[in-house]
Amino acid sequence: MLWRFGTGLAFYFVKFALLVLGYAVSMAASNLLFKVTSTKSGLEWWLWFLAGNVAGFGCPILITYALREQSPQLVYAFTLGAGFVLLQLVAWWWFKAPVTGLQLGGLILTVVGLVMLQLGRV
C-alpha cells in the first residue's frame, strides 16, 4: 500500500512539474516571438505577432490545470519564476544579450527561491 502511495505522489509531482515546464516554455516562446515581431513591419509583423499569440496560448490553459494541483501561491511562483528564468537564459543565448554577473546571480537566486518553496511544501 505504501508503494502505491509513493507512486501516486511521484506521478502528482511529475504532473505538476510538466505543467510548470509547459507554461515556462509557452511563456518564453511567446515573448521571444514578440521580440522578433518588434523588428518586423507590414504583413510580416502580423505573422510574427500571430505566432507569438499562438505560442502563448498554452499559458492560460496550463496554469488553469496547475491550479487544480497546487495552491495558487506555489503555482504562480513556479510558473512565472520558471518562465522568467527560461526567458532570460534563452534571450541571452538567442539574441546574444549581455548578462552581467549580478544579473546571473539574480537568476540563480530565483532558482534557489523556487527550490526553497518546493522544499517548504514537503
Residue-number span of the structural domain to which 107 is assigned: 2-121
pLDDT reading at 49 higher than 80: yes
pLDDT reading at 120 higher than 80: no
Q: What is the mean pLDDT of residues 11-36?
A: 91
Q: How confident is the model at residue 7 (pLDDT cuts 50, 70, 90)?
A: low
pLDDT at position 6: 55
Picking from 67, 90, 93, 89, the residue whose alpha carbon sits closest to that of residue 78 is 67
pLDDT at position 1: 38
CA–CA separation, 66 and 13 (whole Å): 11
pLDDT at position 2: 42
Considering the entire predicted model, what is its pTM? 0.79
Q: Which long-range contacts (CB under 8 A, 24 or more apart) does 8-17 make?
A: 12/69, 15/69, 16/66, 16/69, 16/70
* Number of structural domains found in the chain: 1
pLDDT reading at 8 higher than 70: no
Picking from 101, 73, 97, the residue whose alpha carbon sits closest to that of residue 87 is 97
pLDDT digit string (tens) for 55-76? 999 999 999 999 998 888 888 8
Q: What is the mean pLDDT of residues 98-122?
A: 82
- Higher-confidence residue of 102 and 7: namely 102
